[in-house]
Amino acid sequence: MSTVATWPSQAETWLDSKGKPAWIAAMVLGFIFFWPIGLALLFYMIWGKKMFKSSCKHRSRHMSHGFKSSGNTAFDAYKAETLQRLKDEQDAFEAFLERLRSAKDKSEFDQFMDERARNAKTRSDVSETPTEA
On the question of pLDDT at 1 being above 60, the answer is: no
CA 6: distance to chain centroid? Answer: 24
Number of domains in the chain: 2
Are both 8 and 54 inside the same structural domain? Answer: yes
62 lies in the same domain as 2 = yes
* The pLDDT of residue 84: 94
Range of the domain at 16: 1-68
* Statement to judge: residues 131 and 111 lie in one domain: yes
Whether residues 80 and 54 share a domain: the answer is no
Which pLDDT score, from 0 to 100, does residue 63 have?
45
Tell me which of 50, 68, 86 is where a domain ends: 68
Instruction: Give the pLDDT score at 65.
Output: 44
Q: Is residue 13 domain-shared with residue 60, that is, in the same domain?
A: yes
pTM confidence score:
0.39
Q: Do 90 and 53 lie in a common domain?
A: no
Compare 16 and 1 and report the one with higher pLDDT.
16
pLDDT 10s digits, 62-106: 444 457 888 899 999 999 999 999 999 999 999 999 999 999 999
